[in-house]
Amino acid sequence: MRITLHVARDLLREALARNWVLGLLVGITLVLTVLGLFLRLDVVDGAIAGSKLFGAMLFDDIVSTDKAMRPVYMVAAGIGFFGGAMFLAVACSDFAPSLLSPGRIEHLLSLPVSRWQLLLGTYLGVLALSALCTAYGALGITLVFGFKTGFWTTALLGGSLLGVAGFCALYAAMLTSALFVRSAAASSAVGLLVLVMGILASARAPIEETLEPGLGRTLFHYGVQPFPRLWKLAEQCIRLAGDENFNPGLTARLVAGSLIFSLGMLAIAAWRFEKKDF
Amino acid sequence: MTAIQATGLSKSFPRLFGEPQPALRALTLSIPRGSAFGLIGPNGAGKTTFIKLLLGVARPSGGEVQVLGSTPEDRAVRARIGYLPERLHLPDAWTPLQFLASVARLKNVPVEPPLLERVGLGEATHRKIGGFSKGMRQRLGLAIALLGKPELLILDEPTDGIDPLGRVEVRRILLEEKARGATVLLNSHLLAETERVCDRVGILHLGRLVREGTLQSLTAQREGWVVKFTGGGDPAACGFVPHADRWTFDRPDVEALNAALGKAREGGAWVTEVLPRAFDLEDVLAEATR
């Protein structure tokens, strides 16, 4: 495990030196700074009396703080889940192809490192990176609104963890695809495809009803079955962030689905990696 | 004691259409511990494939290979090998010290900053690798290969991109490593470098080991003569081949040489110098791969 963690740590360090990661962190910091400096919330006795951004009035209804904050956190969770997944699917697409690039993979394999350790280390490193980015954004929003309104909640941080649970399925498929075709574009496309299939898998029953019985419906039924239900997971992430009808049992099953899909993908990746000549 | 023992080693790469492409064909080779072995051959001869099989980066299609007494899959064995690939990929945003530390952690050996000084990167320890020249990158690769005092050094074109003075330094380091007792496997297109560092040489051609032996035994063959003529005549008609300002005679037997010389003299040529033809590694390679 020590070597796996070294590989993950090295990947994280390499990622943090890349421009796009710095760009993402700077972007999140800018949004948080704008919210922190230019959003004015007038809180009176636990209720928001008015809110202004850059001095312009946004709302002047008197709403209790927790009620007012719910939709904000829900929107943030939704954007974080889908926006984060899409951004990371593109931004992290280069890691596995770069790991497998000539001159690098031969050197890594010449070291006393197992192939599965390299694979797992890369996977964990990317997951740690996604957790770091989403946790940074979620923590920042929680702190900004917490200080401004006095309403403190860890719900958005919990939601960010569900976002990472969803992304782990995407990246497992991306990593596996890179072992078959060493291409960042293909890897990214596979990640986005899993996201789309995960959304379709969440609405399998209603979509099936719209299809004529026969081959098409059967293909759709079995085609989307292996994919984790990512839309449902996003829904629970949003509900958790907004503290609204969150279902822990269903969420546990959805997270388990995402993890099982990831493990399946990683098993294929490990099999392929062990067999592959470089 | 052998450092590398390959027996009937073969490797073919599958192709989408048609027969698999053979890269190594039944190679049998033994490299003694503590020796410096030079692997030479034209492009596509199978040298890099052989190195990949030694490191477990690729798996053999047939035969077997033992490295330091075990298989390349054995992680404990790989910890005792230092390897410099032909084109080492380096993280541009890191410093050499950071990269050295990272590889040291993976090899589970202590970080050795003096290694950077040894390869001539003492001044660049804290500079970003992204700003390094090709030669500096190669020096860093060499430092990485030397980490942990490996028992076997496998170097693929170690002086590629390094300036002539740097090459002398690299050669000195390789000789020091050999003196320490390490086995050196050198794959280089620079034959002069191989001649200066290695005591044994193997020539690969089309996946086959076509020559193997000590440098002396390979180059000491007198398979011909070099003759200098003055005057007229037509030495070419007597079996001599023009070579710069001299003529070569490719048959080794003295009787044939004297007969040809006699014929040339009859034609009006004067013999001013006759020397046995001294073969260097370039001649051996050309002859072996002809």
* pLDDT one-digit tens code per residue, A97-151: 999 999 899 999 999 999 999 999 999 999 999 999 999 999 999 998 888 888 8
For residue A60, pLDDT over 70 is answered with no
Residue B46's pLDDT is 92
Any idea which of A28-42, B7-21, B126-140 has the lowest mean pLDDT? A28-42
Q: Do A7 and B75 touch (CB under 8 A)?
A: no
Question: Biggest alpha carbon distance in chain A?
Answer: 68
Cα angle: B35, vertex B40, B45; to 5 degrees: 130
Q: Which of A5, A19, A116, A277 to mutate to test the interface with B (most CBs of B within 10 A)?
A: A277
User: CA-nearest residue of chain A to B141?
Assistant: A107
CA separation for the pair A170, A188 (Å, rounded): 9
- In A, which residues are within 8 Å of B87 by CB distance? 102-103
Q: How far is CA B154 from the centre of its chain?
A: 10
pLDDT at B271 over 90: yes
User: Which residues in chain A touch residue B58, judged by CB atoms under 8 angstroms apart?
Assistant: 277-278
With 0-12 CB in 10 A as exposed, 13-18 as middle and 19+ as buried, what is A161? Answer: middle
Higher pLDDT, B279 or B189: B189
Nearest residue of chain B to residue A117 (CA atoms): B106
B215: nearest Cα among B199, B203, B228:
B199
Q: What is the pLDDT of residues B48-105, one digit of tens each?
A: 999 999 999 999 999 999 999 999 999 999 999 999 998 888 988 899 999 999 999 9
**Confidence grade of residue A42 (pLDDT, cut at 50, 70, 90):** confident
**Across B14-137, where does the E strand assignment appear?**
21-32, 36-40, 62-67, 81-84
Contacts of B105 in chain A (CB under 8 A): 6
Torsion of CA A70, A72, A76, A77, to 10 degrees: 10
**Range of lowest pLDDT (A28-42, A82-96, A190-204, A232-246):** A28-42
* Mean pLDDT on B141-157: 94
CA distance B181 to B7: 24
pLDDT at B221: 63
Q: Which pLDDT does position B161 carry in this prediction? A: 81
3-state secondary structure of A43: strand
A interface with B, Cβ–Cβ < 8 A, is 3, 6-7, 10, 13-14, 17-18, 98, 101-114, 277-278
Q: How many residues does the structure list for chain B? A: 290
Q: Is the pLDDT of residue B219 over 80?
A: no
Give contacts of A20 with chain B, Cβ < 8 Å: none
Cβ neighbours of A277 in B, within 8 Å: 13, 52, 57-59
The predicted structure's pLDDT at residue A14: 87
How many Cα atoms occupy the beta-carbon half-sphere of A136 within 13 Å?
19
Q: What is the predicted ipTM?
A: 0.80
Residue A216 binned pLDDT confidence (cut-offs 50, 70, 90): confident
The rounded distance, in Å, linking the Cα atoms of A70 and A64 is 10
Statement: residue B205 has pLDDT above 90: yes
Are B78 and A17 an interchain contact pair (Cβ–Cβ within 8 Å)? no
- The whole-angstrom separation of Cα B76 and Cα B81 is 9
pLDDT at B222 over 70: no
Cβ distance B75 to A113 less than 8 Å, yes or no, reads yes
Q: Computed over its alpha carbons, how large is the radius of gyration of chain A?
A: 21
Confidence band for A38, pLDDT divided at 50, 70 and 90: confident
